[in-house]
Amino acid sequence: MNSLCCLIRISALAFLVTWGAVIVPTAHAQQSGAKSLSRAELIAAAREIMTAARYCALITLDSSGSPQARTLDPFPPDENMVVWLGTNPRSRKVAQIRRNPRVTLYYFDREAQAYVTILGIARLVNDPIEKAKRWKDEWKDFYPDRARDFVLIAVKPERLEVVSVKKGIVGDPKTWKPRSVDLLKHR
């Protein structure tokens, strides 16, 4: 019985030491306060995270008001932080955007311990010129008939939230509310 207790104590200690090495730096960064960064610096950091993440989650609301998330392959944000994505016009996400265009995009870069959340308004775009400009060859198997099977989603951001532990961009020390930028201002 003594050896079992000792084994449990050693296992518990090993667990605490292992997780402590992961949790303490993040918690310390959260408590030590955020760097004072300008709006432009926060947007630049967000762009960097979004590019490094490659994929994002598009979150819409279904007809019952439940959030629905799916992974998409976006284009990098344009000069106004508008994000363009492609999809099938018969998909659930398109129907959900038609009912309620308010969406969230979520990017996560594990290596940098960083994420960006974009809250904005989605618009469906079926213009052939825009579709030709915003096409990735690796999509050809998903959309064999581009004219019929492919539509764009343009997400115009209203606000972005950004956290990057490695860059010292962390949330409020008490509430953990992330640093954010109101993108409706200065337009």
Q: What is the pLDDT of residues 32-70, one digit of tens each?
A: 454 589 999 999 999 999 999 999 999 999 999 999 999
* pLDDT value for 163: 97
Q: What is the pLDDT of residues 61-93, one digit of tens each?
A: 999 999 999 999 999 999 999 999 999 999 999
* pLDDT value for 35: 57
**All domains in the chain, ordered by first residue:** 33-182 (2.30.110.10)
Question: Whole-number mean pLDDT of the chain?
Answer: 85
Instruction: Show Cβ contacts of residue 106 under 8 Å, excluding neighbours closer than 6 positions.
Output: 56, 57, 59, 69, 115, 116, 117, 118
Whether pLDDT at 31 is above 70: no
pLDDT above 70 covers what percent of the chain?
80
Instruction: Show Cβ contacts of residue 68 under 8 Å, excluding neighbours closer than 6 positions.
Output: 59, 60, 61, 62, 92, 93, 96
Predicted TM-score (pTM) of the model is: 0.80
Instruction: Report d(CA 162, CA 57) in Å as an integer.
Output: 15
* pLDDT value for 114: 97
Instruction: Report d(CA 174, CA 13) in Å as an integer.
Output: 28
Whether pLDDT at 5 is above 80: no
As a residue count, the chain comes to 187
* pLDDT value for 36: 82
